[in-house]
Amino acid sequence: MTASGDLQQALFQRLRSDASLSALLGGAGLLEQPADNAAFPHVTCGQTSAFDWDTGAENNDDQLITLHVWSKAQGDAETLAIMDAIKARLADAVLVIGPRGQTRLSLEFTEARHDEELLVHHGLLRFRAITQENA
């Protein structure tokens, strides 16, 4: 599995273990891959970028990962509640990434908006993940 795949797997495992987030999502609302027929609300994993901040070169030890929250509820309260639950579960979390080491997450960016074309509320959460390799 790739470094980004390992990170995504560990991140979703941590999110799935949160009972309050599961309740907000109705149980099966964490989708590692987007699906056209997915029930709302749900969370998907977006782009993961790996690079060296200093040189711009690819570096799997420093990654950005984006989570997307999708809701068809009236207003943005549901989207914001799900985003808050994700932030509480992941901000400053330390994840074990298989044999690679430990990854520390820090929240870099959030945004919530209404998508007029899709008629959904869309939340974005971008986390920076820095992995320290095992010795």
pLDDT digits (tens, 9 = 90+) for 70-116: 999 999 999 999 999 999 999 889 898 866 678 899 999 999 999 99
DSSP state of 39: P
Of the CA atoms within 13 Å of residue 72, those in its CB half-sphere come to 6
Give CA–CA dist 59/51, Å, rounded: 4
CATH number (3.40.50.1980, 3.40.50.300, 3.40.50.920, 3.30.2000.30) of 3-133 reads: 3.30.2000.30
Minimal CA–CA distance to 100: which of 132, 57, 63? 132
User: For the whole model, what pTM was predicted?
Assistant: 0.87
Give CA–CA dist 51/5, Å, rounded: 15
Phi first, then psi, for residue 6 (nearest 5°) are -60, -45
pLDDT at 57 over 60: no
Beta bridge partners of 67: 45, 125
